[in-house]
Amino acid sequence: MSFSECPSYKPIVLKPGLNETPSPKGFTTLITCRTETPSSRRQRQPLRYNGYEPHNRKRFVDGLLQIRNERVENVGYRFMFASEMPKDPYPELLALHRIAFGQYEGVLPFDEEILRWYIRRPGLGLAHTLVVLYEDTIVSSLFLTVSAFLFEGNLIPVGIIDTVMTHPNHRGKGLATRLMKEAEAMMRSQGCWFGYLYTIPETKQFRLYQNLGYRDFQRVFHLQGRGRARRDEMGSPPTEEVRQFLNETLAGSNGFILFDEALWAWRKRERPEQIPARIFVSRDSRGRIQGTITASWGQITTTTGKEEVVFLSDWAGIGKEGKANALHMALSSVGNIKIDLLCPVVNREEWAILQENGFQPTLAESAMLFPLQQEAEALLQEGTSRSWYPLIESVVGV
């Protein structure tokens, strides 16, 4: 299913002039934003939001080259894309990830294979990996994925920020703030309506993002339970039928990113062996899909070492029964193991099903949105009663 085939799809057309926003004080505007009008849309190829390639890529790179040798507080930091580095950036990104996140309980530790897979995420790549170098070593970085999500039935371009990390020896120097502002300039230049990220509420990082303009839009909780004693990990293959069912069933949820072929392959087929995924599908008496859920295995960091956890995601069903049946299939198949599932507070039906099956809320996450266009601000002001789709790859990394 393509974006235009989604039942509730409504194309967005930006009005002339609304993209023309001033750059943040002290930072360079990398590209003059191009507006979308019916005539200009006919004159060039349409934007691709997953696996997005900027239509004015050369101008963007030239703009960043002009600022990459600027200094922060005159202490020798350099900013650039990871794709611009003369050496392989993956070993240094991996070392930084381990230093920045390795001490936190509940984190899924990356190895180089997982990191390379993650950066192959459609819309990300090394071309959207911003890095700060000190003495030719990466000391801070940010991942920016350009995509589009559904919001109130509209397909809206969005920039997803995650894995903002700085080496402990270089914190407090404004590096993360600078990276966030550069990411904002990139998002504006590529016509994104929102910046979008997840973080733990009421933390230093949360307050930083608030100061930069991000809103505490949805609260999402990790709900944890345990699987049944029996273990049967077979599941179902990631078929086109399941992809279409998810796109149709979740199209009414805000924040849902439609599964095109590239995203589906990355999320379901091309995963590293260390974090395998299985799809569970329940069917009605006529063989039609009634519900589905994906289970992903991983080992998280704990105070005593590592612990195997199953993360459940992409949970959808026809009514409460369809969702409950899919969940029961997963619980009866993964074995007696800790299970973690992200559930927004607004998703009352899913929340009730989980509590009926012994799940309890633990850690809270904030889904934060930063309106970059006037229309985006208007959408937030209107409010919403729709369910929210939690983006597990940006929260957990699976």
* Per-residue pLDDT tens over the stretch 361-375: 999 999 999 999 999
Portion of the chain with pLDDT greater than 90, in percent: 69
pLDDT in the model for residue 4: 39
Residue 234: predicted pLDDT: 65
Query: Contacts for 272-276 with beta carbons within 8 Å, 24 or more apart?
Result: 272/113, 272/114, 272/117, 273/113, 274/111, 274/113, 274/114, 274/298, 274/299, 275/108, 275/114, 275/398
* pLDDT at residue 90, as a whole number: 97
Q: With 0.85 as the threshold, say if the pTM is over it.
A: no
Check whether 268 has a pLDDT greater than 70: yes
Residue-wise pLDDT tens digits, 73-107: 436 899 999 999 999 999 999 999 999 987 777 67
Average pLDDT, stretch 339-359?
A: 96
**For the chain, what is the largest distance between any 2 Cα atoms, rounded to a whole number of angstroms?**
69
**How far is residue 17 CA from its own chain's centroid?**
29
Model pLDDT, residue 15: 35
Task: Provide the 3-class DSSP secondary structure of residue 217.
Answer: strand
CATH architecture for the domain at 221-395: 3-Layer(aba) Sandwich (3.40)
- Cβ–Cβ < 8 Å for 157, 108: no
Q: Which two tokens stand for residue 287?
A: 């063989």
Give the pLDDT confidence of 12-33 residue by residue, as tens digits.
433 333 333 333 333 232 222 2
As given in the structure block, the two tokens for residue 28 are 């360079």
State which fold the 3-194 domain adopts: Aminopeptidase (3.40.630)
Residues of the chain with CATH 3.40.630.30: 3-194, 221-395
Write out the two tokens for 138.
């990466």
β-strands 305-317, 338-344 pairing: parallel
pLDDT for position 20: 33
